[in-house]
Structure 1
Amino acid sequence: MRQEMEIEFKNLLIETEYQRLMERYNTSGSSVWQANDYFDTPTFELRSHGAALRIREKKSGLVLTLKEPKDDGLLETHVTLSETEAEDLFQYGLIHSNAMKQQLEKFNLTTSLEHLGRLETERFEKQLDTGLLVLDKSRYLGVTDYELEFEVTDYTTGKQAFHELLESNGIPTRETKNKIVRFMDLKALTR
C-alpha cells in the first residue's frame, strides 16, 4: 500500500478548446489509454462521505485506489491488484488487501460494494515549469467529455499558475467535479 496527497485543479473543456490545447502542447503526438472501474454500495455510502473507490487499468497492471478528502486535496490510498483479486471485487465486492480494508473501515459501510461501471480515458501529459498539464478525453455512460487537469505540489502557487494557463489559452474557468463524481452523479440519475 502507498499513500499520497493529490493537489490538482480541473477545468472542463469544450472539444475545440481541447483540440487547440492538444495542438499547442502535444508535440509528441502520443497519449495513454486507461480505464477506471468504479465501486460503491448500492446506496452510494462512499459518495456520501466524499470518498470514491476505483480500479484503474493501464497497460502496466491494475491498481485499487481509495480517494478521500483531506486538507486542500485528496488523500489517495493505492494497492496493486492481481487479476484474481480484481475479479473478486467485480463479482463479489470482496477486497483482499488488509490495508485497504482498514482504510475503508472508517466509512462503516452497511452493505457490500458493487461495480457501477467503467470510464475510459485517452490521456496526454506534459510537464510544464509550473506543474503537470493533463488533457483527458473520457467516455462513460454514453457521454464524452474533455478536461484539463493541472497537478501541483503547492496549492497557492499552483492555483495561480492554473488560472494563468487558462487565461493565456482563452479558456473560461468552469466549476469542474472530479471524473468519479461526474460518473457517480450520472449513474445516480440512471438508477
Structure 2
Amino acid sequence: MNAYHKCVPVVRLYGPTNFAPVITEAARRAAKVRDGSHYQIFLIITDGAISDMSNTKRAIINASYLPLSIIIVGVGDEDFSSMNELDSDDMMLSHDGKTAQRDIVQFVALRDFYCGSFEIENEHIMNMLAKEVLAEVPQQLVSYMERNGVVPMEAVPKTRLEYTKEMEMFMQEPGSAPLPFLRDQPER
C-alpha cells in the first residue's frame, strides 16, 4: 500500500478503462504452464468503470479455464456496481451464450476500508483489506486443480539458483514484476 500511495501523486489515471486487452495478456501468460505447477494472480487497480464490458466478460470466460485468478481493486469514488457482474459470487459469469468454467474474479472497493483518509496507519484495517483481496484465491486455485485433475505433489525444497532459473521463464517479457526477494531461500 505504501508503494501505491507513493505512486498516486505522479501517475495520471485516465480512460477509457479497457480490461479485455490486459486480461487476455494475463491469460496468454497463464496458458504457458497448465499442469498445475504454476498459478497466476493478476491484480488490476482501477479508478473507473469498465469501458469494454462485453469484451472483458469474454476475456474472463476464456481465462476461467486457465490457472489464473483476477483481483480487481477499485479506487476512488466511481460507481463500481458493474464490477460485481464480473465477481461470480452468486452466479457464474455468462455472456454471448458462454459460461465461465469457474469463478476467477474478486472485486474489492478500496473505499470500503478507508473512511476518507489515505493514511495507512491502522494495521487492523490493512489486515482486513488483505484478507478481503485474497479471500477467494484459495478456492479459485483448488477449483482449477480439481477440474484439471491436478493432485498435490510432495514439496521439494528448491535452491536459490533453481528458483531463479524457473522464475526467469516468466520474467523475459515486458511488463513482468521483478523477481521476489530471495533472502530466506537456502544457499546450495
Q: Which has the larger radius of gyration?
A: 2
- Relative CO higher for 1 or 2, CA cutoff 8 Å, sep ≥ 6? 1
Establish whether TM, by shorter chain, passes 0.5. no
Instruction: Give the TM-score normalised by the residue count of structure 2.
Output: 0.26
Instruction: Give the TM-score normalised by the residue count of structure 1.
Output: 0.25
Q: Point out the structure with the larger helix share.
A: 2
Q: Point out the structure with the larger strand share.
A: 1
